[in-house]
A and B are shown apart, each in its own frame.
Chain A
Amino acid sequence: MRLVVVTGAGSGIGRATAQRFAKQGSTVVVSDINVETGTQTVELISTSGGTAVFRRLDVADVADWEAFAAWVCDELGVPDVVVNNAGILIGGGFLEQTGADWRRMIAINLMSPLVGSRLFAQRMVDAGTRGHIVNICSVGAFLPTGISPSYVTAKAGAWFGTQALRVELAPHHIGVSAICPGLIRTNLATNGSRGGVADAESASWAAKLGSGHRFVGRSPNRVAFAVTQAVRFDLATVPVGLEAWLGWYLSRLSPGALRSMTRLLRMDLADHGVELVGRIFGRNLDASADTTALSAGTPTTGAQARGSK
């Protein structure tokens, strides 16, 4: 029976991927920073007859990663597939986002998939496991933008690192894939934040954007399918969705043309867009935004934003 590790599996793409692997008969290690949603994923898998265990993981913490990898390999064995999915979204211009925002983004979206890849790849090499590593990047890896520059910068680094790892692990018969989804219906925006504004405003911004993001875009199941296909056929880069394929090819054909398109997306326009989305989709949002704003001050909720994509 295959052993599959999925990070950020408490919601969205991570949950869909965990469920898909479980349905195919794999044992799934569900990890998330959010214990509640992570255990829910395990329950969902168990009730439909699959096998899954939960272990909490803060992917921003290298020491936690090391403990996690050691635990998985000691308790369950060296995994056959590792899916580094956990990620966050921070909106706001290059200058609006603080140094702390940038460091958090780089730690979670760039370093964490590479740290996870390193730890598990070493164990696969040592054990002679012909496994597979999948890093969930984003079409953002190819799209320079002024509305979430830290996100695209981190994803570009993660995508490139995935390519380098693919070259290095090929002689060990370990496959490495980068999945680059376009717009997917997840909690990424709900759990995200807006750099350069007060906490309460950031929470309300994320709630408004999230209210639309939950309905707009493709199902995370599409990405889960891409993940299993990438493992099956050892694919290098897999864009998911038309916009992702367009971004992937256009960034290679003409980076200049792509930039002149993304230049139209400015942060002030994005803020108007978020307002509009909030008005259309978030009818009861004012009440919920208030509670989010209130609880955003507590460290638990702030940290929860990290785990799920």
Chain B
Amino acid sequence: MRTVIITGAGAGIGRETAKLFASHGDRVILADIDTAAAEDVAIEIVASGGTAIARTLDVSKEEQWEQFGAWVRTEFGAPDVLINNAGIMDLGGFLEMSAAQWQRTIDVDLMSVVYGSRTFAQQMIDAGVHGHIVNISSAAAFLPTKLEPAYGVAKAAVLMATQSLRVELARHEIGVTAIAPGVIRTELLAHGNRAGLADEELAVWTAKAGAAQELAYAGPDKVARVIHRAVRHNWAIVPVNPEAWAIYYLFRLSPGLVRWGLGIASFERAEAILRRFTPLINRVASSRSAQEEHSR
């Protein structure tokens, strides 16, 4: 039985990935800062016949990774697959975000990948496990926008760290993959903050942005399937959605063209679009909940 570690497994992409690996017979370790959420997923997996263990982990803290790593090694030995999925997305312009907000994004989105990869790659090498490490980057790594520059910086750095690790671990026969999902129906925005807003405004904004993300056509299960395939085939960089593929190639073809296009995007426009689509968002949300009622 393989041991698969997934961070941020309490929701979204992490949850679906955990369920998918568990359904293929792997033992999944669900790490999340939200212990209750991870436990719920573990209960769900166990109820459907899988093996899952939930564990609290703040991925931005190196000492927590060390303790977590030691626990995994004693309990199960070196893991076969590590999926560094946990991440946050705070919105806000380059100048709007404070130094502390920048640092938080870097700590959670970038340093977590460094700490996790270091901890478990070493275990895999020591135990001679030909394992796999998957880091969730983002299509934002190819989109230098005004909406979330800190997130983009962290994810671009994750992409480079992942490729460097891939180069280095190839001779140990450990695969390393970067995934760039695109817009996925998760709670990423609902859990994030937007810089430069007062608290009440912020609550309204995150609720709206979170509701808009609910409209995304691709579910987290799609990313989970791509992660599973990437581990099997040892792919290097894997965009998931069509827009992620498009922007990946377009940014390589002409960064200048992408920058020009993104010059049009702004918070004012994002808000105008959100306002216009609020009726649609509400309609979809209500029809979705009606469907769920119906299916019950």
Given A95-B118, A164-B144, check contact A263 B167 (CB 8 Å).
yes
Q: Tell me which of A27-35, A70-78, A154-162, A210-218 binds B.
A: A154-162
**Could you list 11 further interchain pairs (A-B, Cβ under 8 angstroms) beyond the known A106-B111, A153-B157, A169-B94?**
A121-B94, A145-B167, A150-B114, A155-B160, A160-B152, A164-B149, A167-B146, A168-B93, A168-B94, A255-B236, A262-B167
Contacts of A115 in B (CB 8 A): 99, 102
CB contacts (< 8 Å) of B153 on chain A: these are 110, 114, 157-158, 160-161, 164
Q: Does B36 contact A (CB under 8 A)?
A: no
The interface residues of chain A lying within 8 Å CB-to-CB of B221 are: none
A157-B259 in contact (CB<8A): no
* Residue contact A152 to B166, C-beta cutoff 8 Å: no
Find out whether the CB atom of A170 lies under 8 angstroms from the CB atom of B263. yes
Number of A-B contacts (CB under 8 A): 143
How many whole Å from B281's CB to the nearest CB in chain A? 27
Asked whether B122 lies within 8 Å of A95 as measured between CB atoms, the reply is yes
Q: How large is the interface on A (under 10, 10 to 19, 20 to 34, 35 or more residues)?
A: 35 or more
Asked if residues B102 and A111 are in contact (CB atoms below 8 Å), the reply is yes
A146→B168 contact, CB < 8 A: yes
In whole angstroms, how far apart are the Cα atoms of A252 and B249 in the complex?
A: 9
B255 adjacent to chain A (CB < 8 Å): yes
Q: Which residue of A lies closest to B154 (CB)?
A: A157
Closest 4 CB pairs of A and B: A144-B163, A146-B168, A157-B157, A156-B160
Which residues of B are in contact with A by a Cβ distance under 8 Å?
62, 93-95, 99, 102-103, 106, 110-111, 114-115, 117-118, 121-122, 125, 141, 144-146, 149, 152-154, 156-157, 159-161, 163-171, 236-237, 252-253, 255-256, 259, 262-263
A118 at the interface (CB under 8 A from B): yes
Q: Name the A residues within 8 Å of B117 (CB-CB).
A: 94
Most buried by A among B99, B110, B164, B262: B164
A168→B144 CA distance, assembly (Å): 9
Interface pair B164/A146, CB less than 8 Å apart? yes
Please, how many angstroms separate the alpha-carbon atoms of A160 and B111 in the complex? 17
Nearest CB of chain A from residue B195's CB, rounded to whole Å: 12
